[in-house]
A = this chain, B = another copy of it.
Amino acid sequence: MRKNLGSLPGVFPMPVLMVATYDENEKVDVMNVAWGNICGMDKIALNLAPERKTLKNIRLKNAFTVSLADEAHVKEADFLGTASGNVMSDKFERTGLHAVRSSRVDAPIIEEFPVTLECEVAEIRESFGEIKVIGIIVNVSADEKVLDENGKVSAGKLNAIMFDQFQNSYYTVGKKIADAWRVGAEFMKK
C-alpha cells in the first residue's frame, strides 16, 4: 500500500559535502552542503542559499574545495552546517580542524577530511531561489589511508557519512554489494 506524503525533498542518500573557502582576509570558512552532486565528468554543482558567507567567498576567490565528511568528524560536519560564518567569526576555529592552502586553487583543504575536490568556479547563477555554483574539478586529493592497492579511493575505507533529509539524520555506509555495469547483465541476454 502506497501513501502520499506531499511535496518533500525526498532524495536519499545525500552526500555530506564540506565546502571550504577563504574570505578577503584569507580566513577559512567551511559549510556543510547536502544539495550538491557531480554534474559532469569534471564538474560539481552546489545549491546554496543566497546569503551564505561561502557564496561571498566563492565570488571573491573564484575557487572552493569540497571534502567528503567522514564518520570520525560527524560532530564537526554537523556544526559546520548549523553555525553561520556571517555571525560567528571563529566558526572554523571552534572545530579544531586544520586547513592548508591548496596548491591548485585559491581555497583551503581541511586536512582531517580524507578526500577533497579542488575546484575553480565555472558558473554562478540564480535558479529558483537558490544560487547554483558549478565548479570545475581541477584535482582530487586523498589521504593514502583511503586508497586501495591500485591507488583508487576505496569507499569501504572512506567511512563517509550521508545525510537523510527525511528525518534529519546522518547514516554510515554499509557494504559493497555489486559491481555496476555488471550485476544487471543477465537482463541483457534475454
A146 to chain B, nearest CB (A): 9
Q: Is A168 an interface residue (CB 8 A)?
A: yes
Given B39, B137, B152, which contacts A166 in the complex, CB threshold below 8 Å?
B152
B140 touches A10 (CB 8 A): yes
Decide if B39 touches A35 in the complex (CB within 8 Å). Answer: yes
CB distance from A118 to the nearest CB of B (A): 9
Contact (Cβ within 8 A) B14 A182: no
The reply to whether B37 and A83 form a contact with Cβ atoms under 8 Å apart is no
Residue among B6, B14, B181 making CB contact with A37, cutoff 8 Å: B14
Number of identical monomers bound together in the oligomeric complex: 2
Q: Is the CB of A172 within 8 A of B174?
A: yes
Assuming the contacts A130-B39, A170-B180, asked whether A187 and B137 have C-beta atoms less than 8 A apart, the reply is no
A55 at the interface (CB under 8 A from B): no
Is B171 a contact of A152 with CB atoms below 8 Å? Answer: no
| A181/B168 in contact, CB under 8 A | yes
Q: Check B15–A13 contact: CB distance below 8 A.
A: yes
For A8, the chain B residues whose CB sits under 8 A away are 117, 137, 140
**Complex CA distance for A186 and B80, rounded to whole angstroms:** 12
* A14 cross-chain contacts in B, Cβ below 8 A: 15, 37-38
Residues of B within 8 A of A115 (CB): 10, 12
A179/B183 in contact, CB under 8 A: no
Question: Would you mind naming 17 contact pairs between A and B with Cβ atoms under 8 Å apart?
Answer: A2-B141, A2-B143, A7-B136, A8-B140, A9-B42, A10-B153, A12-B68, A13-B13, A79-B184, A79-B186, A81-B184, A82-B184, A83-B187, A169-B180, A170-B177, A171-B174, A174-B174
A residues adjacent to B (C-beta < 8 A): 1-15, 17, 34-45, 47, 66, 68, 71, 74-83, 94-95, 109, 115, 117, 122-123, 127-130, 132, 134, 136-144, 147-148, 151-156, 158, 160-188, 190
